[in-house]
Structure 1
Amino acid sequence: MRIFCLLLLWACAAQAQVASLPAMRAGQVSVSGLSSGAYMAVQFEVAFSRTVIGAGVIAGGPYFCSQGSVLTATTTCSCTSELLLCRVRPGGTQVPELIALTDWFAAAQTIDPTSALASHRIWMFSGSADSVVPPAVSNDLYTYYRHYVDASRISYKRNLNAEHAMPTDSYGNRCRTLGSPYINNCRYDAAGQLLNWIYGPLNARNSGALNGRFIAFDQSEFIALPAWHGMADFGYLYIPPACDSGAGLGCKLHVVFHGCHQDPDSIGATFVRHAGYNAWADNNRMLILYPQAAATFTNPNACWDWFAHDDTRYAQQTGRQMAAVKRMVERLTTPP
């Protein structure tokens, strides 16, 4: 059985060898994500804007878009309802109301001051053929960001005829395909584009076999009973050789949130291995943290919590998943 896992299910082997997330001394924290992971990335960036320096948002919408409503999440912030017609339209997410709520949370000190967002660098992607999070939703996100961030600090790619998936230039389904593993070969390296925008010009990515190593780590150190709260028992960390020595001193940290149906039970480690981040990390002193969500009764698609499927405080610093990922970030950025 062990040989079977090692040969055919890399994720199964990783799960069997789950370790503790190592204490590191990285800095310059940024986030990115796809779909529900994009919403999670925006939430994390806004709530912890003093910690994060930028975000990459692939097929996502404004902060607090669903306002805790599954109906709003699936009909106004995305087209994912199986029972009702999609109601996505330009301006439909009510950006002025979301800005007012953001400011209210900041005034209540449940998120960081919004003034910290002004220094962030934002990279956005919306496929023109996206049927799950249509371009109108991403356009609302751009309007939301422009309230806090100067246009010169935002890059918005929206002219690629792509469906709802992580765009790569070397792996996945055809670009107009909608389906598992939701990674599409669009001859476009989204991971590289967003990392280069957030951090400035980087060294060329590793074009050969990866030089670093993966760690499957125990997420229960950061959230009690993770399976009860929509998180997998384990997450992943990619460590390039340059960050293995010196406990990551001088390295950057990028946090990647997968989308729905991209959790370990659904696709194993496919997203972790093929989304495109690790090759850039190899040559640029960058740790890549992949927290992992999991399916629950109220969240059967293993989405990140951006619609209160587990926690009404989901978009604030005290939200269970938000706080758990923040603790992971602190483990990787605090001197041992």
Structure 2
Amino acid sequence: MNQCMMNTDEPLPVTEMAAAIRQAGAAGRLADPENLSDDRVWLFHGTQDSKISAQVHGAAAELYSGFIPAEQIRQVDDVVADHVFPAKGRGQGCTEMVSPFVGDCDFDAAGELLSWLHPGLTAPGGEPEGELLEVSLPGAEDADLMETAYLYVPSACARGEPCALHLVLHGCAQSAETVGTAFIEQTGYLPWAEANDIVLAFPQVEKSLVAPLNPHACWDWWGYTGDDYLYRDGPQMRVLAEWISGLGQ
């Protein structure tokens, strides 16, 4: 795990990772990675990040560049921030590792990333007037997720207007079991969603103090749900894909 977080001594095997992705796509364990070619990617790394090294951040960008044109990849690595979600006028100090790990960095990461992924968005003009709903997440127990997820439904969407859907995954130690709705309400997503008719889906990881050990309720990036965790049949991948598909109907 340390090599995936704070590696500074040797290059990460990006070429081998890209080859493994293509191989998994050819075998049907992942969707065809060529589907990524018209996607857009937004990556952030704070200059004071004490959990993830700049080398790992750079390797992620390099990996994406093997599937996506460079002009569709946005890297932000010049904001003075620790390993927090950067916000503007919300949260604690930007270099303070304090729960719920939302930093007042004078940088609206939610707005920046949404605007990059969905060009042409309208900047928010006021506070959100939609509803934050608690909903059931089917299959959650089999994927080490909380049975309760959250949906933010903008006021126009509640009236039946056509709306987009954006999936938001919290970070470690930011699940509702630990911080309530602080991550949802402090990160800055809601005003942008309200202004642009975007329904936000917030699934939640369940923390575990026994095997499989996951005391900080992290999403599975190391295999605690099983060997298929990184493939389309992995428990969390499958539950989220089925949930999002159902929400879009």
Shorter-chain TM band: over 0.9
Equivalent residue, structure 1, for 2:235: 320
Q: Work out the CA distance in 1 between the residues paired with 2:125 and 2:219.
A: 30
Distance 1:274 1:240 in 2: 17
In the alignment, is the contact (CA less than 8 A) between 1:236 and 1:290 conserved in 2? yes
Aligned equivalent of 1:106: 25
Aligned counterpart in structure 2 of residue 186 of structure 1, from 89, 105, 116: 105
Q: Superposed, which structure 2 residues align to 1:123-272 within 5 Å?
A: 123-208=42-127, 210-219=128-137, 221-223=138-140, 225-226=141-142, 229-246=143-160, 249=162, 251-272=163-184
Give the Cα separation in 1 of the matches to 2:37 and 2:71: 11
Percent pairwise identity: 29
Structure with larger RCO (C-alpha < 8 A, sep 6+): 1
Q: Deviations over 1:130-169 (max 9, x none)?
A: 0101211110001001111111111111111110010000
Structure 1's unaligned 5+ residue stretches are 1-72, 80-87
The CA deviation at 1:91 is 5.7
Deviation at 1:170, TM superposition (A): 1.2
- Would the aligned equivalents of 1:90 and 1:136 in 2 still touch at CA under 8 Å? no
In the alignment, the residues of structure 2 paired with residue 197 and residue 323 of structure 1 have an alpha-carbon distance, to the nearest angstrom, of 26
SS of 2:36's equivalent in the other structure is helix
1: distance between equivalents of 2:120 and 2:54?
Answer: 27
Is the alpha carbon distance of 1:207 and 1:245 closer, same or farther for their aligned partners in structure 2, counting shifts above 3 Å? closer
The separation in 1 between residues aligned to 2:12 and 2:170, in whole angstroms, is 23
Residues 303 and 295 of structure 1: CA distance in aligned 2, closer, same or farther (over 3 Å): same
2:25 maps to a residue whose letter is: A
RMSD over aligned Cα, in angstroms? 1.3
Aligned length: 246
Gaps of 5+ in 2: none
- Normalising by structure 1, we get a TM-score of 0.71
Query: What's the secondary structure of 1:326's corresponding residue?
Result: helix
| TM-score of the two chains, using structure 2 as the length reference | 0.95
In 2, Cα distance between equivalents of 1:207 and 1:310: 41
Q: Are residues 1:278 and 2:199 paired? A: no
Runs of 4 or more consecutive aligned structure 1 residues displaced over 4 Å after TM superposition: none
- Secondary structure of the 2:193 match is helix
Alpha-carbon shift at residue 104 of structure 1 (Å): 1.1
Q: Give 2:200's aligned residue.
A: 288
The DSSP-based 3-state class of the residue aligned with 1:201 is: coil
Conserved? CA contact 1:126–1:157, under 8 Å = yes
